[in-house]
A and B are shown apart, each in its own frame.
Chain A
Amino acid sequence: MSPGNADVRDLPALPDAEAALAELAARMAPAVAHDAAFVGIYSGGAWVAERLAKMLPGDHPVGFIDVAFYRDDYKRSGLKANTRRTELPFDVEGATIVLVDDVLFTGRSVRAAINELFDFGRPDAIELAVLVDRGGRELPIEPTYTGASLAVARDLSIVLSRDANGRLALAIEPATAA
C-alpha cells in the first residue's frame, strides 16, 4: 500500500445516489415547510435541490449558490475557475431556507453558504439537507436531513455526477489537492 493512497480493497461501498435521494426526500417530507426555498450549493447540491423540489409536496422556490467568494481557502488556493452566479429568485428576508448539498464533509462550504445567504437578508430559519454525510467535520455544523451516511478516509473524494437523463450517480476518487 503506497503512502497517501488508500488500497482499493479498503474503499467503502457507496450507496446508490437515486436510493439515497429517495431516502432523503422521505425523511424531509413530513418535516419541511411547504413554502421552504431550496438552495443548492453548486454544483452537486444544485442538482439535488432541483430534484427535491419536484419530489416534495408544497411549492418550493429553487435557488443556487456558488460559495467561491466566501470560501476560507481563497488565500491558500486562490479563486476557483468557473465560478457561477449565485441565483436566489425569492426574498431571503424572512424566508425558510433548506440549504442542499451533495456531500457533507468538513462543513466549510456550508459555513460559506450561510454567510453568503445573510448578505441577501435575514432568513427566518436555515436547515441543511445532504445526500451523503461522509463525516470528518471541522466545524460545528450538522445536517437536519441526511440521505445516507458513511465513513470515508480523508484522502478520498466522493463525487456526484448527473447523466444526460438527469440520473445521479456517486463515485469515489483520490482527493485532488485543494
Chain B
Amino acid sequence: MISRNPQLNAEGKLTHLLTLEGLPASVIADILDTAHPFVSVGEREVKKVPLLRGKAIFNLFFENSTRTRTTFEIAAKRLSADVINLNIGVSSTSKGETLLDTVDNLVAMNADMFVVRHSQSGAPHLIAAHLNRTGRAHVHVVNAGDGRHAHPTQGLLDLFTIRHYKKDFRRLTVAIVGDVLHSRVARSLIHGLTTLGTPEVRAIGPKTLLPTAVQSLGVRVYHDMREGLAGCDVVVMLRLQSERMRGALLPSPGEYFKHYGLTVEKLAMAKPDAIVMHPGPMNRGIEIDSAVADGDRSVILPQVTFGIAVRMAVMSILAGG
C-alpha cells in the first residue's frame, strides 16, 4: 500500500524530498529556516560540519547534469558524508538492469541516501515508494530533477533567495519568464510560492512555451513581457533550452530575445528594487542581457551559494528523521 504522500512518514516528518507539491507550508518553512545557519558554514575556514559523518550518499544521475550533481556533492561533503557518483546512463542500465534492481544493489551496499536525476517524470517517486513498500524508508530519496515534473531543491533555493531579499511572501508579485512548459524549476517554484501565500505569481512567455494548464496552478498568464513585468518584486528568468528551437516552438534566438529577453529597458517596468533570478546555466543574449545578468539587481550568484546551504538542510533533515 503506497501512501498518498510518500515523502512524509506517519508523523508527518519528511523522509524523502520528491516534489514541493502537497508539502505543508510548515515543512517548507522548516527547510528554509534550517538552511540559514548552513550558509555560514561555507564561509568558514574549515567548510565542514560533522553531521552526516559516515553516511553514504549516492548521486544517481540517469540524466547528465554536472552542475546539479556538483552542488549536491559539495553539500554532502560539507556535511562530512561520503559521496559516490554514479552515471547510470553509461553503466548498469545499459547492461539491462532495471532501475529498482540498481537501487536494491546499492541498498545492499548500505546506501543511506539517493540523490536521483532522471529524464522520466516520476522516477524518484518510484524509488521512494519501492523503499517504503519494502520497509527500507530509512534510506532517503532526494529528487534532483525528474523529467518535466519537479526540481524541488531548485525551487527551495529560489524560495530561500526570495525570502532573503524580500522577507515576506505574502506581499509579493513574482514573475516567471520563458520556457515554463518544459521547466520543472518553474513548476516547483510555483507550488512553493503558492503554498507560502504569495498573492500573485505570473507566467510570461509565448503561447507555445506556456502549458495550457498553467492557470490551474494559480498563475496569471501574460504574453506581453512589459505588461507582465509591471510592478513585480521578483523576476525569475528561465533558461531557454536550445533543443526547443528545433521543435519549431520558436522562430529564432534573436526573435525570442526581442520579445522575452530581459533587458534593462524591460526590467524598468518592474519595481525599482525588484531582484532578478536565473537557475543557470544562462544564455546571455537569448533570455537575458549581460547588462542585467551582471547588474546590481541580479542575485544569480547568491542563488548558487544559497543552493548549497538549502541542499545541506534537506539532507540533514532527511537523515536526522
B51 and A69 contacting across the interface, CB-CB below 8 Å: yes
Report which of B37, B46, B48, B321 forms a contact with A83, defined as CB distance below 8 A: B37
B101 in contact (CB, < 8 A)? no
A85 in contact (CB, < 8 A)? yes
Q: How large is the interface on B (under 10, 10 to 19, 20 to 34, 35 or more residues)?
A: 10 to 19
**CB nearest neighbor in A for B312:** A69
**Given A78-B321, A79-B34, A83-B37: A69 touches B50 (CB 8 Å cut-off):** yes
Residues of B within 8 A of A79 (CB): 34, 51, 316-317, 320
Residues of A within 8 A of B216 (CB): none
Contact with B along A112-123 (1 / 0, CB 8 A): 000110011100
B23 in contact (CB, < 8 A)? no
Report which of B46, B51, B320 forms a contact with A120, defined as CB distance below 8 A: B46
Residues of A within 8 A of B44 (CB): 119-120
Q: Tell me, in angstroms, the Cα distance from A115 to B51 when the chains sit together.
A: 12
Q: Tell me, in angstroms, the Cα distance from A116 to B41 when the chains sit together.
A: 11
**CB nearest neighbor in B for A84:** B37
Residues of A within 8 A of B45 (CB): 119-121
21 A-B contact pairs sorted by A residue (CB < 8 Å): A66-B37, A68-B37, A69-B37, A69-B41, A69-B50, A69-B51, A70-B49, A70-B50, A70-B51, A74-B320, A77-B320, A78-B317, A79-B34, A79-B320, A83-B36, A84-B36, A85-B39, A87-B40, A116-B49, A119-B49, A120-B46
Residues of A within 8 A of B255 (CB): none
**CB nearest neighbor in A for B52:** A74
B217 to chain A, nearest CB (A): 30
A81 in contact (CB, < 8 A)? yes
Q: Tell me, in angstroms, the Cα distance from A116 to B48 when the chains sit together.
A: 10
A115 and B34 contacting across the interface, CB-CB below 8 Å: no
Contact with B along A60-82 (1 / 0, CB 8 A): 00000010111000110111011
**Given A78-B320, A120-B44, A120-B45: A85 touches B50 (CB 8 Å cut-off):** no
B317 and A85 contacting across the interface, CB-CB below 8 Å: no
Q: Tell me, in angstroms, the Cα distance from A79 to B315 when the chains sit together.
A: 11
* Chain A binding surface SS class: loop
For A69, A81, A83, A87, the residue with the greatest tally of chain B CB atoms inside 10 Å of its CB is A69
B103 to chain A, nearest CB (A): 23
A86 in contact (CB, < 8 A)? yes
Q: Tell me, in angstroms, the Cα distance from A140 to B316 when the chains sit together.
A: 29
Q: Tell me, in angstroms, the Cα distance from A52 to B51 when the chains sit together.
A: 31
Q: Which residues of B contact A (CB under 8 A)?
A: 30, 33-34, 36-37, 39-41, 44-46, 48-51, 316-317, 320-321
B48 and A75 contacting across the interface, CB-CB below 8 Å: no
B51 and A86 contacting across the interface, CB-CB below 8 Å: no
Extra inter-chain contacts (16) besides given A84-B37, A119-B44, CB under 8 Å: A69-B37, A70-B50, A74-B316, A78-B317, A78-B320, A78-B321, A79-B34, A81-B34, A82-B33, A83-B33, A83-B36, A84-B36, A86-B40, A119-B45, A119-B49, A121-B45
| Residues of chain A in range 107-131 having any CB-CB distance to chain B below 8 Å | 115-116, 119-121
B275 to chain A, nearest CB (A): 22
Residues of B within 8 A of A69 (CB): 37, 41, 49-51, 316
Residues of A within 8 A of B316 (CB): 69, 74, 79
Residues of B within 8 A of A81 (CB): 30, 33-34
**CB nearest neighbor in A for B317:** A79
Residues of A within 8 A of B41 (CB): 69
Q: Tell me, in angstroms, the Cα distance from A164 to B30 when the chains sit together.
A: 27
A85 and B40 contacting across the interface, CB-CB below 8 Å: yes
Contact with B along A85-103 (1 / 0, CB 8 A): 1110000000000000000
For A79, A85, A86, the residue with the greatest tally of chain B CB atoms inside 10 Å of its CB is A79
B37 and A119 contacting across the interface, CB-CB below 8 Å: no
Residues of A within 8 A of B37 (CB): 66, 68-69, 83-86
B80 to chain A, nearest CB (A): 10
Q: Tell me, in angstroms, the Cα distance from A97 to B110 when the chains sit together.
A: 41
